[in-house]
Amino acid sequence: MIDDWRCLELARTGDENAWREIFRRHYPALVKITSSIAGSVEAGHDIAQEAFVRLLGARINHHEGTLKSFLATIAYRLAVKETHRLRLFRRQEPELMAEESPSPLETLVKDETDRLILRAVQRLPAGQREILTLRFFGGCSYEEIARTTGVPLGTVKSRIFYAVKACREKLKEQGVFA
């Protein structure tokens, strides 16, 4: 199995199989991250695809860290930018929009417990929600999240702790946890 950085080099030289392999490895996680942040599966797909376009054109002078983290950083920043753009356009808070109709992400989740967890995550403040999404949906380490978001490592850990605590309390109220 070729590592991600080598696969990217091959893709940039025109190897379509290498490009498909990078896409196969990372696209599903990026859609989860971007959909959760943007609040829409359709926007999540668009943003994830845009992240791959940006990856192809990015100047990378080093291979420190993982390609997954590099790509997640691109997708995260695009998703946050899109969320801000939509907020300005709609002049509504995302929490109000999510309560008007079922979240598009809920259609991806079949199990009722997962839906309740997803709702609890969506109700978190944006800073906690984004970091929790990167950690659990994106599979990023604390260090990768700190680099991606530009938030200090201690703050990342703190936000995850309080986000999990808030979700757990909400789920206890709903009878998911005893």
Q: What is the mean pLDDT of residues 149-165?
A: 92
Report yes or no on 25 lying in a domain: yes
Residue 178 lies in a domain: no
Domain with 23 in it:
4-173
| Token pair listed for 142 | 């604390």
CA distance 135 to 140: 5
pTM: 0.58
What is the pLDDT, as a whole number, of residue 132?
Answer: 87
Min mean pLDDT across 6-15, 78-87, 102-111, 153-162 is at 102-111
H helical segments located in 62-173: 67-90, 94-100, 112-122, 126-136, 142-149, 153-173
**Is residue 46 domain-resident?**
yes
Q: In the prediction, which pLDDT does 49 show? A: 92
With respect to residue 76, please indicate whether it lies within any of the assigned structural domains.
yes
From the number of C-beta atoms within 10 Å of its C-beta (0-12, 13-18, 19+), residue 76 rates as: buried
Average confidence score pLDDT of the chain: 81
Decide if 55 is inside a domain: yes
46 or 86, which is more confident?
A: 46
The phi, psi pair for 2, rounded to 5°, reads: -80, 135
| pLDDT band at residue 158 under the 50/70/90 scheme | very high
pLDDT band at 170 (very low <50, low <70, confident <90, very high): confident
Cα 74 to Cα 149: distance, rounded to the nearest angstrom = 10
**Which tens digit of pLDDT belongs to each residue from 59-104?**
887 767 788 888 888 888 888 888 777 666 655 444 544 455 555 5
User: Is 44 inside any structural domain?
Assistant: yes
Residue 168 CB contacts under 8 Å (≥ 6 apart), including other chains: 177
Answer whether 121's CB lies under 8 Å from 129's CB.
yes
Rounded Cα distance between 7 and 22, Å, is 7
- Quick check: 74 and 30 in contact, CB under 8 A? no
Q: Identify whether 157 is part of a domain.
A: yes
Residue 14, judged by CB atoms within 10 A of its CB (0-12, 13-18, 19+), counts as exposed
pLDDT at position 153 is: 93
CATH number of the structural domain spanning residue 66 = 1.20.140.160
Q: What is the pLDDT of residues 122-156, one digit of tens each?
A: 888 988 888 888 888 778 889 988 988 899 999 99
Q: Is residue 14 part of a domain?
A: yes
Number of domains making up the chain: 1
